[in-house]
Structure 1
Amino acid sequence: MYRWPALIPVALLMAACGPADPLEDYASRVARVLDQPVEPATPAPPRYPRARDRQLPVPPERTGWIGYFQLKRCGLLHLIGQRNSILGRVAPPARRLDYERKLLAGLRACRPSTPAGAQDDDPAFAARLAELVASKQAQLPKVIWNATLGSDAMADAFSLAAGRLPMDTDVMPGESLGALATLTRAARGPQPPTVTEPAYRVLETRHYGGRLLQSVTAVTATLDAVTGAIEQRLARRPLCFRGRANRQARIAETVLREFYIAALQPHMAALSDAGRLWHEALAELFDAQSVTMPAAITRYRNQALGESSRVWRDYRRASREHGEAWTELLDSCGLAPARGF
């Protein structure tokens, strides 16, 4: 079994005035020990599509005054009045979805005919009612989409304004995971607004999706930069003479152990676990939809959501190549760590 050497008390490693950001700290220490610049790029993750690109058009029904008052026999005037009020027009997604479901249920339950055995006294209204039911039924999946994956709350969940997840705290989705599950249930069947509205608030305030993406993107950029520096140093000149470990090689080994294996790798493992849970919950919400997604959402999903997306493929690739570069560096000094670190 490979045994790590004792920590070398080098002022270079113990300096207390280094960068506060752990990723910057790791990159700067590698740069100093290899005498090779490490310059991580700062790419921004993909942005959640804007409203006009992520939402589906739902034209309002225009029944006219005659149709409006005819719906009195369905007991829907109060509901329609609420929806058409000033507050109703700016109602949050949970209440708009609740309104549409209640209206559709009321229209289906309405019976415009006279008592059993008698002929319908208003065939025109019956025909119009059937049209409204069919129209509302066809529109409901779009309303559900706009109230969940197309909503402003979901855009807030993927906002890039809140920065990364901190490395010294739990990165698991927590309440945000429960919020996605609540929206999934709302997409599959009626849920009281009092149940769903807290989920919207969580998504709006936690910004979990955006913070997770920024964390993964930043780690990927740092790994790629350090990997590039190691490769450039090896191409410029060997770290060790005749493959024998020297002081510089042991300092590099300590940087690897103390700042990558002990500090950064646990954070990376936590991000991977959190990403898996987050993507599973998102997949459930996507599966609950019955619409053709807007093209902008399809592109975003391919870029940023799920293990097969570009962001997460790059993350795994950067991790693999980083390990290979360190192994090559230390192997050139007879200090190769155990495989798979």
Structure 2
Amino acid sequence: MNHPCKFSSLLITPLPIRCLLVVCLLLLSGCSKQPSDTYHTYVARLANILQQQPPRSLPLQQLRLTTPAAIEEPSDTLSILQLASLSHCQLGGLISERNNQLGKTATAASTFKYQVEFIQSAAQCLQTLNSTSTIYNTIASATAYKQRYLMHYFNSMLFKEPELNQTWQLTSRELSTAAAGYSDTLAAMTTLVAIKQHIAAQQFSAIDTHALFNALEQLNKYRFNQLLIQSARTQIALNDRASQFLRSVDIATLCPKGKSNQSAQILSNIFKKFYLADIQPYQAQLTGYLETLQPLYTELWFKQPISSEPINTLLAFEQNSNLLKQLKSSAKNHVVWWQTFYKTCEINPI
């Protein structure tokens, strides 16, 4: 078999361009530093000075959405002749376009869009029809059905569209310290929340379906929500494990009263070099993002039929278990140990 990259001949012949590209990509992906790598280095350095094994990192648990319950199918349909009589209405063109797409797989977002546009077009069309006619009653019944279940179609979109359901899925990537897409993600999430609020208030004419697809495009472009939640959960777990590890250290033994201790000074230097210089600013950055985005997550997902209890727990606004409060409290608990350390060891933290 002929291979494009034959490693046995690397010393004899130049490496083909495509092999060089593959090697470069592998090197870049393998050497790409994530914020959690800094934290692992920080804890490993502390453990080395303390002559202990660093704590093992436990994998994060997958967060899952719940499949939406089935809804009853509409009973009223329009015949071909009835549809032909709606040629003067925008609704007629909308239904015809939808019928032409039958057999094709419709996305949850396009299905939701159709329900909204049907509702929006029906009001104008009904004004042109005899209120005692069969076609009038059929359209009125279909409109009432779609209004009643529009929130279901919205939640189905949250459940099925990758740009939305991947928000809660684990990923190997983390949000970088120079992350792009925050402003666009905030705008997209604000759009989705506004649409949901219009549904709840039955303000169907105010729903902008074009803005919906623009929002989904921005979410797909950056995956910011997924990376933010992954990164916050990772930093919380690292804070908790590091704090648990340090609480096992007897500070009084480490710093006997009245005696200088070189190891304690080295620990202080490690804390300042890694935690204060890099980790704490990064966690403050995540906190800032969550302070604006978590309320929007709560609006969309909290206590919804598609949300599992672990997701509800992370979004419960008043509970200490919510993601933002966990990040803040885990960071505070970690710093508290160091405050005790500096006081006991009589070391200037500056």
TM-score class normalised by the smaller sequence: 0.7 to 0.9
* Offset of residue 157 of structure 1: 3.1
Query: In structure 2, what is the equivalent of residue 267 of structure 1?
Result: 282
Kept after mapping to 1: 8 A contact 2:255/2:264: yes
Letter aligned with residue 55 of structure 2: E
Distance 2:98 2:330 in 1: 51
Query: In structure 2, what is the equivalent of residue 173 of structure 1?
Result: 182
Counterpart check, 1:228 vs 2:244: yes
Query: In structure 2, what is the equivalent of residue 135 of structure 1?
Result: 145
3-state SS of 1:244 partner: coil
- Shift of the 320–171 alpha-carbon distance from structure 1 to 2, 3 Å rule, reads farther
Kept after mapping to 2: 8 A contact 1:276/1:306: no
Farther-moved stretch of structure 1 (56-65 vs 157-166)? 56-65
Letter aligned with residue 238 of structure 2: T
Kept after mapping to 1: 8 A contact 2:181/2:224: no
* Offset of residue 146 of structure 1: 2.7
- Shift of the 35–143 alpha-carbon distance from structure 1 to 2, 3 Å rule, reads same
Gaps of 5+ in 2: 1-32, 199-205
* Offset of residue 59 of structure 1: 4.3
Among candidates 301, 304, 309, match of residue 293 of structure 1:
304
Letter aligned with residue 140 of structure 2: A
Distance 1:146 1:295 in 2: 8
**Paired-residue identity, %:** 19
Among candidates 156, 162, 169, match of residue 152 of structure 1:
162
Distance 2:339 2:312 in 1: 34
3-state SS of 1:296 partner: coil
Q: Which has the higher contact order (CA 8 A, sep 6+)?
A: 1
Among candidates 207, 222, 227, match of residue 190 of structure 1:
207
Kept after mapping to 1: 8 A contact 2:255/2:345: yes
- Shift of the 30–102 alpha-carbon distance from structure 1 to 2, 3 Å rule, reads same
Kept after mapping to 2: 8 A contact 1:27/1:38: yes
Kept after mapping to 2: 8 A contact 1:171/1:274: no
Distance 1:259 1:273 in 2: 20
Kept after mapping to 2: 8 A contact 1:26/1:259: yes
Distance 1:65 1:85 in 2: 14
How does 1:1-341 map onto structure 2 within 5 Å?
21-49=37-65, 53-55=66-68, 57-64=70-77, 66=79, 68-74=80-86, 75=89, 76-86=91-101, 89-109=104-124, 110-111=126-127, 114=130, 122=133, 124-148=134-158, 151-166=161-176, 168-170=177-179, 173-187=182-196, 188=198, 189-193=206-210, 195-234=211-250, 238-285=253-300, 293-294=304-305, 296-297=307-308, 299-303=310-314, 308=319, 309-335=321-347, 337=349
* Offset of residue 35 of structure 1: 1.7
- Shift of the 159–24 alpha-carbon distance from structure 1 to 2, 3 Å rule, reads same
CA deviations 1:294-335 (Å, max 9, x no partner) are 063565132357574444443233222211211222322212
Letter aligned with residue 184 of structure 1: V
Distance 1:40 1:72 in 2: 68
CA deviations 1:248-295 (Å, max 9, x no partner) are 1111111111111111111111111111111133345569xxxx7206
- Shift of the 217–226 alpha-carbon distance from structure 1 to 2, 3 Å rule, reads same
Distance 2:105 2:317 in 1: 33
3-state SS of 1:273 partner: helix
3-state SS of 1:233 partner: coil
Root mean square deviation of aligned Cα: 3.2
Kept after mapping to 2: 8 A contact 1:216/1:271: yes
* Offset of residue 149 of structure 1: 6.5
- Shift of the 314–106 alpha-carbon distance from structure 1 to 2, 3 Å rule, reads closer
Distance 2:135 2:78 in 1: 13
Letter aligned with residue 173 of structure 1: Y
Query: In structure 2, what is the equivalent of residue 6 of structure 1?
Result: none
Kept after mapping to 2: 8 A contact 1:40/1:224: no
Query: In structure 2, what is the equivalent of residue 4 of structure 1?
Result: none
Kept after mapping to 1: 8 A contact 2:287/2:327: no
* Offset of residue 60 of structure 1: 4.3
Gaps of 5+ in 1: 1-18, 115-119
Kept after mapping to 2: 8 A contact 1:302/1:310: yes
Letter aligned with residue 212 of structure 1: L
Kept after mapping to 1: 8 A contact 2:191/2:215: yes
- Shift of the 243–326 alpha-carbon distance from structure 1 to 2, 3 Å rule, reads farther
